[in-house]
Structure 1
Amino acid sequence: MTDLATLTRLCPPPDPPMAIRWDAVEARLGMPLPQDYKDLADLYGPGAFDDYLSPYHPHGVTEFVNLIGPMPGRIREQLRRDRERGSHPVPHPPDRLFACGVTDNGEYLFWVTDPAGAPDRWPVAVNEARGPRWFTHEGTLTSFLVGVFRGTVSVPLFPRGLAGPRHRFVPSRPTLWKPGPPVATTSVDTGQIRSWARARGYDVPPRGRVPREVREAWERAHSETAS
């Protein structure tokens, strides 16, 4: 059984599947993409697994989860600065890291794009939200998701309780957004997001996941400030 078939048994996809012009997507990115990811994106579309983990998608409904939007470039620029300054460890060359997902706590998922011409061999890396820790999975994005949901891949950066017999995928609701040029931004830890949200009347828990609507509101506010 393939990893995608296992994932669909753990977490049924929505209907119907999407038809994505992958030749146009890859041309815009200037690189090939892993076949497992293309199959995953076709089948599930844009959205989030367990209201926590959102793979980037060519039809992501906001710039913050769009594979061909500005976020991969912004994040890569931040990693370059982190490495140059020595402020946070970056175990892989930043130019070899391409962001392919995000969690509600602010961890980013990356493809380690080495070798460049063999995307089906790219491992998946995860970094702590503005912290020093990294985790690398020597496998595809789909096998990573299967492992996390089955409990065979333990990511110290993720909260407990992601493994289990049942999971859900929630498709994203389209919203209007205007993609702009890539702008380097500095991400912050969840404590700063919680403080910002409480000052504006949001109800946020002191620990655990930052609610999706709070994180997206923070990202929108800081994106507008940067522009």
Structure 2
Amino acid sequence: MDWPAVEAALRTRLPEDYKELTAAYDPGCFANFLWIFDPCHTSVHVNLTGPASDRTRAQVRDDYARGICPAPVDPELLLPCGGTDNGETLFWIMDPLAGPDAWKIAVNEARGPRWFVFDGNVTQFLISVLNGTTSVPQFPDSLPQGGVAFEPSCLDEWTPPLPPTTPPVDTGEIRAWARANGYEVPLRGRIPAEVRQAWEQAQQGN
């Protein structure tokens, strides 16, 4: 693996445990559920440097700015490194940026607001989750019971759901709706998440 080229494309160094993990395992699936992104994978959905990663990061940044299911850290510090068959994404928390071997792992919820942070690297995360030591709220309770087998992929077979593209919304419209429905909102700045969610639910009911 040409790691200098991969790191140049990502504009950051990568953790050594990740390099050792991908050297030991071909691209594939752990426990028929967890995927670790790999620079060798031909599928854009699982390739570490592919466009799906950029789209996921853009969606997280947008959610953070709008106060919807915001990430636990600044989205600029999040780099996708894996995913699940349910649509969750695993992220490296790139802090400190110059010390990738100290990066923690964050997991979002595919269709909900929850985030989970694991205090360890991606290899430690896999071991802890698959041996049942760590329970990730977003993952099915039966995950450790399904075995910890590794199944190599056909490189281009995995196509998880991509995050939806969110059209821009006039925040003035949301503020006007909120005041008309008894919510207190600031004249400018971030709209509270609960107000935004109430507005979206109202739109779905129309």
Specify the code of the residue in structure 2 equivalent to 1:173: C
Matched-pair contact (CA < 8 Å) for 2:29–2:36:
yes
Structure 1 regions of 5+ residues with no counterpart? 1-19, 177-183, 189-227
In 2: Cα distance, 1:127 partner to 1:174 partner: 24
Structure 2 regions of 5+ residues with no counterpart? 167-206
Matched-pair contact (CA < 8 Å) for 2:15–2:100:
yes
Q: 2:18 matched to which residue of 1?
A: 37
Number of residue equivalences = 162
Matched-pair contact (CA < 8 Å) for 1:74–1:185:
yes
In 1: Cα distance, 2:141 partner to 2:110 partner: 16
In 1: Cα distance, 2:69 partner to 2:146 partner: 36
Runs of 4+ in 1 over 6 A off after TM superposition: none
Q: Residue 23 of structure 1: SS of its match in structure 2?
A: helix
Matched-pair contact (CA < 8 Å) for 1:47–1:171:
yes
Matched-pair contact (CA < 8 Å) for 2:107–2:116:
yes
Specify the code of the residue in structure 1 equivalent to 2:164: T
Q: 2:104 matched to which residue of 1?
A: 123
Matched residues, percent identical?
Answer: 47
Q: 1:70 matched to which residue of 2?
A: 51
Matched-pair contact (CA < 8 Å) for 1:61–1:173:
no
**Deviation sequence 1:83-142 (CA, Å, 0-9, x none):** 111122221111000000110001100000010000000000000013110100000100
Which of 65, 76, 82 is the matching residue for 1:84? 65
**Deviation sequence 1:165-193 (CA, Å, 0-9, x none):** 942111111449xxxxxxx95279xxxxx
In 1: Cα distance, 2:25 partner to 2:37 partner: 12
Q: Residue 39 of structure 2: SS of its match in structure 1?
A: coil
Q: Residue 45 of structure 2: SS of its match in structure 1?
A: helix
Q: Does 1:48 align with 2:26?
A: no
Q: 1:186 matched to which residue of 2?
A: 164
* TM superposition score normalised by structure 1: 0.67
**Which is greater in Rg?**
2
In 1: Cα distance, 2:98 partner to 2:126 partner: 23
Which of 111, 123, 141 is the matching residue for 1:160? 141
Please, what is the CA RMSD of the aligned residues? Answer: 2.0
Which of 89, 99, 107 is the matching residue for 2:88? 107
Question: Compared with structure 1, are the counterparts of its residues 125 and 174 closer, same or farther at alpha carbon in structure 2 (3 Å cutoff)?
Answer: closer
* TM superposition score normalised by structure 2: 0.74
Q: 2:74 matched to which residue of 1?
A: 93
Moved more, 52-61 or 167-176: 167-176
Matched-pair contact (CA < 8 Å) for 2:31–2:147:
no
Q: 1:22 matched to which residue of 2?
A: 3
